[in-house]
């Protein structure tokens, strides 16, 4: 079968032929329909990190996925649309024992397409049913966004749970004022997930003014501003919840100053090391955290419950703003183009999708867009 292959920690990617994986009893074989491209894939292809499966030098890339079951022992019928989760826990720690491999405490986990296990940028893969989430057919057109939205679902869940634990119950009424930093796929999905919950949403990025992302956000009732404009505005509001989706260290540091009392900043981007701010800035920053009961938490990967919440929200997005999510698919390319796509983002890109087969629109489910 075809697969997109990388040598972890060595720049470059190629499309090559590899043996189709065997299917042990109790597992299912999934034909991949389409996959999403994200910054993690580009970082791995750029040689920054990643780990091949044991005994191998190459890794099949990719973790955002959508496919259909083509072989099964019966638990999942042939033809079922599915999305596979990413992390496989150690099976030993307390979190993994209750099915929360996203919070694995031992660090002895694998992540498909990232570290220690092959990913989904291939014609097919084999997986056990417990790691697969069933996609309702009407959502097949947008379900490739389930994995990045699952990261958002976890970030919001963690951020709001922390806030509710620190804010008196009698003071929780009223509209939540939220900020999202970054207008890539994760940032856009975070904005929609917060809007569908009734929150006020402001999205900031490096591009003030009229942009394609800003126009989509306006359709959902969210506002869009340049980060520099907001951070320098003395009349700017402060926020109850801030979701960071840039991976820029200085942005992550500066966002804490935009939190209101009892606010929570959730970091989802993975910044490069280094670039520490000046000591006097750190002191003022920490003082604000303490005196106003602010919190900063990191969130990575997602649990099954977050994948299920993502599918629920995708349906809610379509009901609230028909075809808006489909418009986030700013480019569709064949799997053979993966090396070129990984070489860099295109102008105005929100989400690039690689078509492994004909895609959801070729089947009986029809198209949402």
CATH number at 351 reads 3.90.180.10
Are residues 160 and 38 part of one domain?
Answer: no
Please indicate, yes or no, if residue 334 is contained in any of the structural domains. Answer: yes
- b (16+ CB within 10 A) / e for 44-54: bbbeeebbbee
Question: Which stretches within 197-275 are classed as H helix?
Answer: 212-219, 227-231, 249-255
By CB atoms closer than 10 A (0-12, 13-18, 19+), residue 175 is exposed
Please indicate, yes or no, if residue 35 is contained in any of the structural domains. Answer: yes
Closest CA to 330 of 346, 317, 314: 346
Please indicate, yes or no, if residue 304 is contained in any of the structural domains. Answer: no
Are residues 154 and 258 part of one domain?
Answer: yes
Residue that is last in its domain, among 279, 298, 317: 298
Please indicate, yes or no, if residue 218 is contained in any of the structural domains. Answer: yes
Q: What is the CATH number of the domain that holds 246?
A: 3.40.50.720
Are residues 117 and 23 part of one domain?
Answer: yes
Please indicate, yes or no, if residue 168 is contained in any of the structural domains. Answer: yes
CA geometry: angle at 351 spanning 64 and 117, to 5°?
Answer: 20
Residues 202 and 222 sit within 8 Å (Cβ to Cβ) = yes
Strands 110-112, 116-117: pairing kind: parallel
Are residues 128 and 58 part of one domain?
Answer: yes
Structural domain count of the chain: 2
Are residues 116 and 13 part of one domain?
Answer: yes
Please indicate, yes or no, if residue 143 is contained in any of the structural domains. Answer: no
What DSSP string describes 113-136? TTBEE--S-BSEEEE-GGGEEEPP
Please give the chain's pLDDT, 369 residues, in tens.
Answer: 999 999 999 999 999 999 999 999 999 999 999 999 999 999 999 999 999 999 999 999 999 999 999 999 988 999 999 999 999 999 999 999 999 999 999 999 999 999 999 999 999 999 999 999 999 999 999 999 999 999 999 999 988 876 655 555 555 556 889 999 999 999 999 999 999 999 999 999 988 878 899 999 999 999 999 998 888 888 888 999 999 999 888 888 889 999 998 899 999 998 777 666 666 678 888 888 898 889 999 998 999 999 999 999 999 999 999 999 999 999 999 999 999 999 988 888 999 999 998 644 443 333 322
Q: Which domain holds residue 58?
A: 2-134+328-362
Please indicate, yes or no, if residue 140 is contained in any of the structural domains. Answer: no
Q: In this structure, what DSSP letter does residue 248 have?
A: -
Please indicate, yes or no, if residue 347 is contained in any of the structural domains. Answer: yes
- pTM confidence score: 0.91
């Amino acid at each position: 079968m075809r697969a997109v292959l990388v040598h972890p920690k060595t720049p470059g990617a190629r499309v090559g032929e590899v043996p189709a994986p065997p299917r042990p009893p109790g597992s299912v074989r999934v034909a991949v329909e389409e996959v999403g491209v994200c910054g993690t894939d580009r970082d791995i292809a750029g040689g920054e990190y990643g780990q091949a499966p044991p005994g191998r030098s190459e890794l099949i890339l990719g973790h955002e996925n959508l496919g259909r079951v083509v072989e099964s022992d019966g638990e999942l019928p042939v033809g079922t649309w599915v999305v596979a989760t990413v992390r496989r826990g150690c099976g030993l720690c307390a979190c993994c024992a209750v099915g929360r491999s996203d919070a694995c405490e031992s660090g002895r986990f694998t992540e498909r397409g990232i570290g220690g296990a092959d990913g989904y940028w291939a014609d097919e893969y084999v997986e056990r049913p417990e790691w697969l989430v069933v996609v309702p057919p009407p959502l097949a057109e947008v379900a490739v966004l389930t994995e990045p939205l699952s990261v958002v679902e976890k970030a919001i869940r963690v951020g709001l749970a922390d806030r509710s634990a620190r804010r008196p119950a009698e003071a929780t009424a009223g509209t939540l004022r939220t900020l999202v930093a970054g207008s890539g796929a994760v940032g856009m999905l975070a904005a929609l997930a917060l809007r569908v919950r009734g929150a006020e949403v402001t999205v900031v990025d490096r591009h003030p003014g009229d942009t394609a992302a800003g126009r989509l956000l306006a359709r959902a009732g969210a506002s869009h501003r340049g980060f520099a404009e907001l951070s320098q505005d003395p009349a700017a509001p402060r926020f109850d919840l801030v979701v960071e989706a840039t991976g820029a260290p200085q942005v992550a540091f500066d966002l804490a100053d935009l939190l209101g009392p009892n606010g929570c900043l959730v970091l989802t981007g993975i910044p490069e090391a280094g670039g520490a701010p000046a000591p006097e800035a750190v002191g003022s920053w920490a003082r604000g955290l303490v005196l106003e009961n602010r919190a900063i938490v990191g969130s990575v990967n997602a649990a099954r419950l977050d994948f299920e919440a993502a599918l629920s929200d995708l349906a809610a997005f379509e009901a609230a703003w028909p075809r808006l999510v489909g418009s986030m698919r700013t480019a569709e390319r064949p799997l053979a183009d993966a090396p070129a796509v990984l070489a860099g983002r295109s102008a105005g890109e929100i989400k690039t999708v690689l078509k492994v087969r004909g895609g959801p629109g070729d089947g009986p489910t029809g198209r949402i867009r």
